[in-house]
Amino acid sequence: MPHNRSLIPVADDRCSGDDKPVREDTNERRVRLTIDGVPQWGTLMADTIRLEDGRTLPEADAHYLAPVTPSKIIAVHLTYRSRLTEYAARTPAYPSYFMKPPTTLNGHRGIVRRPRGTRFLNYEGELAVVIGERMHGVPVAEALAHVAGYAPANDVGLHDFRHADRGSMLRVKGQDGFLPIGPYVTPADEFDPTDFTLRTYLNGDVVQEATAEDMVWGVAYQLADLCRLITLEPGDVVLTGTPANSRPMQPGDVVSVEISGLGSVQSTVTDWDVDLSAVGEQPAVSANTLHVALAVPEDEAERMVTQSEHQGEAQ
């Protein structure tokens, strides 16, 4: 089966007044913006964006939205060898997954908020896969033919909530704006998911770097694995994992995820002055927080938390 080259059903915002879902021409770099509070599609042309109504605006003035509106977002746990080595972890027999709600979506040059009183807001540069044709029971050999396109993404996580949600990762990875992606989706027939380089930049410095060869399970395997039991619909997003050296970001930091052939998505971290104390689990630094957010060995992380607790009791 050939790639789904003619259409990328990455979004359905009906902003044009058409009652039918919007399907995008993959021969152009389509971007999704907010203009006076209204979502609109445009075509990126170097330093200019042409809107569907014929108007143009400088790219530097664009307020980007995520170029996708999926029914679901699925992410994979450890799948890069470098990260397994960093954690001194055994290679799992098979990949495992979690979900992020669509409200995590964030656009290029968007803001990522760190709630007041938290410390461990980590970047995770990842390759995002956008589904083009419904997938259910598709074998590995045919999986990539169902992909519409690819984009760089940042699977942001707030590890002060590692102790909450019993492993579902909902409040770690599911907060609003915790998935910068874009600025556009590159058509599948213009990108090889078995041959790419991923880099994450923190304030201009490279902090993550890996190639497709670092992946234990490639894109095709992950898609085939997922769609055995979960139907992947057109527009759905699958995040395919991050390499070593995910670390916390600070307010004021500028983070970019760049993938060869796909461009880069950029975000700025800000403080969020919010009071979380009225209800629910509160942020806390657990041994798992330190292990995952800082790659501290598990036994050392346990010792650090115990020592901190004893110091608190002595005060």
SS3 for the chain is CCCCCCCECCCCCCCCCCCCCCCECCCCCEEEEEECCEEEEEEEECCEEEECCCCEEEHHHCCEECCCCCCCEEEECCCEHHHHHHCCCCCCCCCCEEEECHHHEECCCEEEEEECCCCCEECCEEEEEEECCCECCCCHHHHHHHEEEEEEEECCEEHHHCCCHHHCCHHHHCCCCCEEECCCCEEHHHCCCCCCEEEEEECCEEEEEEEHHHECCCHHHHHHHHCCCCCECCCCEEECCCCCCCCEECCCCEEEEEECCCEEEEEEEEEECCCCCCCCCCCCCCHHHHHHHHCCCHHHHHHHHHHHHHHHHHC
d(CA 212, CA 160): 30
What separation in angstroms does the CA of 67 have from each of 187, 252, 254, 283?
12, 25, 21, 32
- Distant-in-sequence, close-in-space partners of 310: CB < 8 Å, separation ≥ 6: none
**Closest by CA position to 156, among listed 176, 133, 179, 190:** 179
Query: Could you state, in chain order, the average pLDDT of each consecutive group of 10 residues for the chain (315 residues)?
Result: 42 38 55 95 95 94 97 97 96 97 98 97 98 98 98 98 91 98 98 98 98 98 98 98 98 98 98 96 96 96 89 64
d(CA 24, CA 130): 13
- Angle at which helix 298-314 crosses helix 287-294, to 10 degrees, equals 130
Tell me the two tokens of residue 82. 């470098």
pLDDT for 314: 60
- Contact of 80 with 240, CB cutoff 8 Å: no
Any bridge partners for residue 76, and if so which?
97
Any bridge partners for residue 30, and if so which?
43
- Contact of 155 with 126, CB cutoff 8 Å: yes
Domains of the chain with CATH codes:
66-284 (3.90.850.10)
- Contact of 130 with 147, CB cutoff 8 Å: yes
d(CA 270, CA 115): 9
pLDDT for 166: 82
Q: Are strands 179-180 and 105-106 parallel, antiparallel or unpaired?
A: parallel
- Contact of 8 with 18, CB cutoff 8 Å: no
Tell me the two tokens of residue 35. 């203009």
d(CA 244, CA 36): 40
- Contact of 130 with 219, CB cutoff 8 Å: no
